[in-house]
């Protein structure tokens, strides 16, 4: 656990799988470069769920990387996601591991639905609430054939959202689809 500068407890889960994940991501060639195909995947996910933000997020020991990113152009300038929306495509695709909810999904290895993050004290104090204005989150893990949770696919909104069962089923289906794409890509390199 860590503390932020104003003394709030930030409950970021301990991630014992991070070294194995980082090694697997390097082996797959993922987690360092923006990928136009993953940007298109994120855009399709955002459109399907009607969300302003969608990400394909790979997580190593220290940070998160949005290899696929969809944002509404020009919003939230000066923040990680807002800078990406403004056109700074690669430099601002990184986020600290203690920001956001994807690290929780990776450690839990289960989808996470937060219709209003402010309803959950554990999640309401996360820096993305104040810095970016995130109020709603829906994410699912990307668990590959080796059993490693590589990262997540997720959508977020600046308004509370009732994602419902349909939203949960959709995010899980997109996660499964992306894992299959990663496997096909890996198999084609062998």
Q: Which of 48, 9, 25, 14 is nearest to 151 (CA)?
A: 25
Q: d(Cα 33, Cα 5) in Å, to the nearest integer?
A: 31
Identify the band that residue 76 occupies on the pLDDT scale cut at 50, 70 and 90.
Answer: very low
**Binning pLDDT at 50, 70 and 90, where does residue 86 land?**
very low
Cβ neighbours, 10 Å, residue 29: 12
pLDDT recorded at residue 81: 54
- Sheet-wide strand order for 53-59: 94-96, 63-70, 53-59, 149-157, 136-143, 112-114
pLDDT tens by residue, 26-55: 999 998 899 999 999 999 999 999 999 999
Give the chain's domains with CATH numbers.
2-189 (3.30.450.40)
Cα separation of 108 and 102, whole Å? Answer: 10
What pLDDT score was predicted for residue 182? Answer: 97
E-state strands within the chain:
2-3, 9-10, 53-59, 63-70, 94-96, 112-114, 136-143, 149-157
Higher pLDDT, 141 or 4: 141
**pLDDT band per the 50, 70, 90 thresholds, residue 18:** very high
Place of tokens 């939230």: 76
Distance CA 4, CA 126 (A): 10
pLDDT attached to residue 90? 52
Residues 157, 136 contacting (CB under 8 angstroms):
yes
List beta partners, residue 113: 138
pLDDT tens-digit profile of 137-146? 999 999 999 9
Q: What is the pLDDT of residue 120?
A: 82
Could you give the CA distance from residue 82 to residue 33 in angstroms, rounded to a whole number? 18
Instruction: Supply the Cα-derived Rg of the chain in whole angstroms.
Output: 15
The structure tokens listed for 37 are 């195909």
Q: What is the pLDDT of residue 121?
A: 82
């Amino acid at each position: 656990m860590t503390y932020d500068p104003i003394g709030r407890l930030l409950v970021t889960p301990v991630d014992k799988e991070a070294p194995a994940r980082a090694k697997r991501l390097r082996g797959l060639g993922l987690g360092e470069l923006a990928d136009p195909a993953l940007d298109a995947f994120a855009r399709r996910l955002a459109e399907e769920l009607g969300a302003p933000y969608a990400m394909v997020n790979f997580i190593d020991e220290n940070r998160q990387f949005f290899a696929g990113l969809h944002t509404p152009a020009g919003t939230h300038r000066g923040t990680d996601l807002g800078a990406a929306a403004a056109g700074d495509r690669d430099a601002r695709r990184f986020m600290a591991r203690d920001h956001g909810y994807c690290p929780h999904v990776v450690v839990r290895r289960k989808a996470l639905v937060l219709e209003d993050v402010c309803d959950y004290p554990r999640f309401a104090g996360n820096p993305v609430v104040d810095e970016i204005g995130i109020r709603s989150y829906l994410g699912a893990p990307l668990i590959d054939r080796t059993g490693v949770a590589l990262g997540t696919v997720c959508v977020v909104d600046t308004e509370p959202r009732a994602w419902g069962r349909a939203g949960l089923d959709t995010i899980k289906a997109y996660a499964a689809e992306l894992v299959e794409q990663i496997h096909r890509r890996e198999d084609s390199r062998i």
